[in-house]
Structure 1
């Protein structure tokens, strides 16, 4: 029996989650439909832009993403502390970028009208702010505003109505650093496994392509959660080294697609040693992210499930 959504997302256990949304039946999200010949590639950038826009509004960071022909992958980090630290004005400002809010919240944000609000009206605004604040770190609301937007766009383009997604979305909790690394690699390497790209830097509409492009300029993408390598002067970020991660992606990608050409660096052992993954177990874990794990992923689960 499926578990309720609220039991799958527990921020006390982990702030990291892998979310997957798949199209219903033969609906095409992106790419070329081989049956009809219709090209949906223009949607890829729209979907990528929408996800990154939502991340800039919500207190939710994108660690990795991939936009495929009939599904999307997102590795998300929920920053509840950031949402709770926002001022009331900031909460309303962000929420009004997505929805109109209420008449009272709009009046509250108008400095000329704010002082005219009565005490009951102010209490109503405070109650709305509390609700909006909780939504700004809610993965369900994030995915809802992403998938609804895409479904409406697709149905309008296809001149049809009805369900576009097979369900809300699949969620997997990433309980430790090994699970986080494996899942990010799994997501970033999706186009390579599907035969849509030969190398990570040429994987269309993935986070790794953005990271490689930025790395060439010795920077990191502003719209993705940065790698901080446990730096003490940076408050938030992925606790790995960016160079090690890119080398790890190349190494894992070559193992998954041994027939592809290119000189792939082999000096990625430090990152594997740090998270306690043997090479063979790492390969199995990345390959079986969706098939061998249900709602939670961790090294302990990998030890029990992946027999070498």
Structure 2
């Protein structure tokens, strides 16, 4: 069965959740310790994390979970056209110009001016197109992957591909699939035997969330969503040496807003607010993420307990039963207790070749909306669900 088109998997005009995987070319360890040269490129994981954090501040896309590995990266993303619809034309223009400034006279300043924003706002057709792109997962991934590739190639003094090709996308169609996929993503470093437990795995969403609970903060990578007065920008360009402008630009890139935030503030909240209607956009107004909407009907403490227990289920330390305190979580979403460990630890066996993630009946229902009878792997995952 051929890989489905992107517009069959997700639509920028409707809210949907997608698991995306982007691999380095030839699966080389271009963000880890290279086996051939012995060079350590692990610092590039922080490049990717910061770029991901920056994009979360301007796109109408929620980052639910992520994991940066040595030769690939995982994200679970939720596009939010409902949030994007609430932004004014001026906000849309500023956000777009932050990510895609284009060719501008103020290239050394590289900051949108009031005149840049007004010019773009006057083009209503262009603004409508940009509004759609800001809630498009494909454009989000493009804005994430391309700058990282350019930075790595410049550092390595080479040309060519850094990423293998277009990212792999899997539509997540129900809460059972979302819970299992979130655990799988957060436990990637544990499954790869890089660490023994999730709290030891930096560059994962689980690590950020647990450190934030302990009060750890970091310099925010969020874009500054303020414009510069056109006159002020002109005076600065005329009166400031180019090398000084470039140095100021580099300094501001490290912390554009000058703020420190909790380590997980840019991520989507894990727990859904039971007092909110599911249709409410819950627009975020502090400039570090698109919305304040959670994605699981589970408290962080319960998620963390289940994550840690699952991380301990290695082949050398395999326990037969899920603890009684955690059984209700899995039973509520319809996951077979006896298959939970196998579902998460052997994820590729169950969902590795599928373009959809969820309970078999949910997968079938979504397949029918795209003109298919079923998805690959739909029958084989039935044993994992009640």
Same fold (TM over 0.5): yes
* Counterpart Cα distance in 2 of 1:257 and 1:203: 20
How far the C-alpha of 1:101 sits from its partner, in A, is 5.4
The structure with more helix, counted as a fraction of residues? 1
How far the C-alpha of 1:285 sits from its partner, in A, is 2.4
Deviations along 1:276-302, one digit per CA (max 9) or x if unpaired, are 112223223223434433110111258
> Cα 1:112–1:58, aligned 2, differ >3 Å: closer, same or farther?
closer
| 1:299 equivalent in structure 2 | 359
| 1:97 equivalent in structure 2 | 98
Q: 1:238 aligns with which of 273, 286, 295?
A: 295
- 8 Å CA contact 2:24–2:162 kept in 1: the answer is yes
How far the C-alpha of 1:222 sits from its partner, in A, is 1.0
> Cα 1:256–1:58, aligned 2, differ >3 Å: closer, same or farther?
farther
Counterparts in 2 of 1:130-145, with a 5 A limit? Answer: 130-145=128-143
> Cα 1:113–1:75, aligned 2, differ >3 Å: closer, same or farther?
closer
How far the C-alpha of 1:172 sits from its partner, in A, is 0.3
Q: TM-score, normalised by structure 2?
A: 0.70
| 2:271 equivalent in structure 1 | 228
- 8 Å CA contact 2:64–2:267 kept in 1: the answer is yes
- 8 Å CA contact 1:244–1:268 kept in 2: the answer is yes
* Stretch of structure 1 that moved more, 17-26 or 217-226: 217-226
* Counterpart Cα distance in 1 of 2:168 and 2:9: 10
How far the C-alpha of 1:73 sits from its partner, in A, is 0.3
Deviations along 1:54-94, one digit per CA (max 9) or x if unpaired, are 11110111111000010000011111100111100110111
Q: Secondary structure of 2:203's partner?
A: coil
- 8 Å CA contact 1:33–1:39 kept in 2: the answer is yes
> Cα 1:75–1:26, aligned 2, differ >3 Å: closer, same or farther?
closer
* Counterpart Cα distance in 2 of 1:46 and 1:78: 23
How far the C-alpha of 1:230 sits from its partner, in A, is 4.0
Q: Secondary structure of 1:46's partner?
A: helix
Counterparts in 2 of 1:133-172, with a 5 A limit? Answer: 133-172=131-170
Aligned length in residues: 296
| 1:29 equivalent in structure 2 | 30
| 1:2 equivalent in structure 2 | 3
* Counterpart Cα distance in 2 of 1:69 and 1:29: 7
How far the C-alpha of 1:113 sits from its partner, in A, is 9.5
* Counterpart Cα distance in 2 of 1:147 and 1:276: 36
* Counterpart Cα distance in 2 of 1:94 and 1:113: 10
Deviations along 1:248-298, one digit per CA (max 9) or x if unpaired, are 1112111246449xxx97622221122111222322322343443311011
Point out where structure 2 has 5 or more consecutive residues left out of the alignment.
105-109, 217-261, 283-292, 364-376
> Cα 1:284–1:11, aligned 2, differ >3 Å: closer, same or farther?
farther
| 2:64 equivalent in structure 1 | 63
> Cα 1:135–1:13, aligned 2, differ >3 Å: closer, same or farther?
closer
Deviations along 1:228-258, one digit per CA (max 9) or x if unpaired, are 3442158421232111111111121112464
Query: Is 2:314 the partner of 1:271?
Result: no
> Cα 1:59–1:141, aligned 2, differ >3 Å: closer, same or farther?
same
| 2:81 equivalent in structure 1 | 80
- 8 Å CA contact 2:22–2:163 kept in 1: the answer is yes
